[in-house]
Structure 1
Amino acid sequence: MADDKTKRDFRDRDRVSADEDYEVEYFATKTGITPQQVKELIAKHGNQRETLERVTLRKQ
């Protein structure tokens, strides 16, 4: 069954899913790191977008 596009829920916008390649690619492009580095950061720090951005900025 297809998702109901009229019911929109944005609860996970503050997270980066390591299972979704497009999310990993977008975050990698946005922050200037490789997709593999994004996955490593998620494994180490969790998938909260704010935390990942803070850690990424600190390393640059």
Structure 2
Amino acid sequence: MTDDKNKLGYQDRSRVSGDEEYEVGYFASKFGLSIPQVRELIAKHGNDRDTLEREAKALKGR
């Protein structure tokens, strides 16, 4: 699933595309995680941004 840069609506922003390096990198730096950790979160919890942010905060807090 690639990120469609022509899609600028809410639906696109509510997901994190694991196939796009810049999205994974941004998410990793935002929460102080590594790229493999973010990819593992996406594999385990899906690509819903709210869920991933909640799980990233929990992971960082450990």
Looking at structure 2, the residues matched to 56 and 44 of structure 1 have their Cα atoms a distance apart, in angstroms, of: 12
Question: Unaligned stretches of 5+ in structure 2?
Answer: 1-5
The yes-or-no answer on 1:24 pairing with 2:24 is yes
Quick one: structure 1 residues 8 and 24, their matched pair in 2 at CA, closer, same or farther if it must change by over 3 Å?
Answer: closer
Larger Rg: 1
Looking at structure 1, the residues matched to 34 and 58 of structure 2 have their Cα atoms a distance apart, in angstroms, of: 16
Q: Which residue of 2 aligns with 1:49?
A: 49
User: Taking structure 2 as the reference length, what is the TM-score of the superposition?
Assistant: 0.79
Q: Which residue of 1 aligns with 2:8?
A: 9
RMSD (CA atoms): 1.8
